[in-house]
Amino acid sequence: MRICMMAPWPSVHTDFLLKAALRMGYEVHYLRIGGLQAGGLPPGVQLHSLEPRRPMGLRYTGQISLGLQTRRLLKRIKPDVLHIHTLFAGRHWRELPWLWPLYSYHPLVLTAWGGDLMVTPGTSRSARRLIQFALRSADMVLGNSEALLDVAHSLGVARQRLHEMQFGIDTELFSPAQDTTQVREALALGPGPVVYSPRAFTPTYNQLAIAEAIPKVLQVIPECRFLFQRRAEFHRPEYEAEVQERLDQQGVNRAVRILPPSQYEDMPSYYALADVLVSVPSHEGMPRSVLEAVACGAFPVVSDLPALREWITDGENGLILSSVEPKQIAEAILYALSHKSMTEKASQINREIVERRWSYSFWLQRLDELYKLAVAGKSYSHA
């Protein structure tokens, strides 16, 4: 089977999809607007770069040229399935009309992200209409939570075209059986508890609120250490600078480590090092980083999101915050660190949930089944 994908890069999600397709023995093509900004694609993926061309600088001609290039490429590649990962293929929603060849190709599989459906439709009437157009164009719409699929249905997608699709967790790689001694020593963390925020530096993930919670935690547990993760994807340097300025003002830098972008294979050590995982985005589907963290034994403190309520019971296998306020974040962290019996039990519960619902091998097989359904035309008819 020949698969053609268009998705943001760098992204662990895109990396998963490309490697999954290769592992299934597919011929894999990847479309990207512009050259790669960081790192290379997995070996075996065929890259096709699209470049906006603006004859004499005429307005809109760059987007029109992208559409024409895309159309020619798809005619030449002739993929059995075109898979667009996020509704806008990594672009702004206003550019969607100029990518019409993508949305007129069939079979088309579309993976919607949380922000695609939960935020953008509310920004304007035009945005909502364009999103509905993209959703109606797809033979299959994939989402990583029932809550996200419900939103897609409310936007006009028939239930038979909606399918749950998780990225999957490598439960052998992500496990509590990690030797964290060297990492702890390298970061000079000392023997105290560790709180980890692995999300990208962007306002959506509210690291500023986490930073403001740190002094309150240190007043009670001065030996506690906090890790933030700088990620290659969706990184906002100006927001990181704002967080760093707040840390400076509070005088808590001694207790904070901001980690550089890490290789995927290195992440289990950081997750296993963490006593508490803090992930408090304002909106999201099913966060893969939270699943990876709990697979390694970290106790989750999370914002109140429908996708997380599908498997986290507040006070049992995690703590769900009613609001993303520094005081509430600090209180949740302190509560988790002072209730060892709860966190130890939660570690066992969450590991069982991950193995049962989010194993990599299960979802790899499911993706193969969905592609075959799309090729067979059994999910939807455009007649």
Query: 257 φ, ψ to 5°?
Result: -125, 125
Q: What is the pLDDT of residues 363-372, one digit of tens each?
A: 888 999 999 9
Q: Do residues 250 and 371 share a domain?
A: no
Q: What is the pLDDT of residues 67-113, one digit of tens each?
A: 888 889 999 999 999 999 887 654 555 555 556 778 889 999 999 98
What distance, in Å, lies between the first and last C-alpha atoms of the chain? 24
Domain of residue 156, CATH code:
3.40.50.2000
Model pTM score: 0.73
**Could you tell me whether strands 81-85 and 108-111 are parallel, antiparallel, or unpaired per DSSP bridges?**
parallel
Q: Do residues 185 and 292 share a domain?
A: yes
Q: Is the pLDDT of residue 283 over 60?
A: yes
Report the range of poorest mean pLDDT among 92-101, 197-206, 373-382.
92-101
Q: Is 265 among the domain residues?
A: yes
What CA–CA distances, in Å, run from 225 to 172, 338, 374?
27, 15, 48
Q: Is 382 among the domain residues?
A: no
Question: Which has the higher per-residue pLDDT, 288 or 296?
Answer: 296
- Are 271 and 112 contacting, i.e. CB atoms less than 8 angstroms apart? no
pLDDT attached to residue 244 = 97
Mean pLDDT, range 50-66, rounded to an integer: 66
In total, how many domains does the chain have?
Answer: 2
Query: What does 145-198 look like in DSSP terms, one character per residue?
Result: SHHHHHHHHHTT--GGGEEE----B-TTTSSS----HHHHHHTT-TTS-EEEE-
Q: Do residues 325 and 364 share a domain?
A: no
Q: Do residues 190 and 156 share a domain?
A: no
Q: Is the pLDDT of residue 383 over 50?
A: no
Q: What is the pLDDT of residues 4-46, one digit of tens each?
A: 998 888 777 788 889 889 989 999 999 887 766 545 889 999 9
Domain that holds residue 303: 181-357
Q: Is 173 among the domain residues?
A: no
Region at 236 (left for phi over 0; alpha for psi -120 to 50; beta for the rest): beta
Q: Do residues 118 and 219 share a domain?
A: no
Mean pLDDT, range 191-217, rounded to an integer: 96
Q: Distance (Å, rounded) from C-alpha 138 to C-alpha 108?
A: 5
Q: In the predicted model, what is the mean pLDDT of the chain?
A: 88
Q: Is 351 among the domain residues?
A: yes
pLDDT attached to residue 299 = 98
Q: Distance (Å, rounded) from C-alpha 120 to C-alpha 354?
A: 30
Q: Is 383 among the domain residues?
A: no
Q: Distance (Å, rounded) from C-alpha 112 to C-alpha 285?
A: 9
pLDDT attached to residue 2 = 97
Q: Distance (Å, rounded) from C-alpha 189 to C-alpha 256?
A: 9
Q: Is the pLDDT of residue 189 over 90?
A: yes
- Are 340 and 333 contacting, i.e. CB atoms less than 8 angstroms apart? no
CA nearest to 378, candidates 164, 80, 160: 160
Q: Distance (Å, rounded) from C-alpha 64 to C-alpha 70?
A: 10
pLDDT band at 197 (very low <50, low <70, confident <90, very high): very high
pLDDT attached to residue 382 = 42
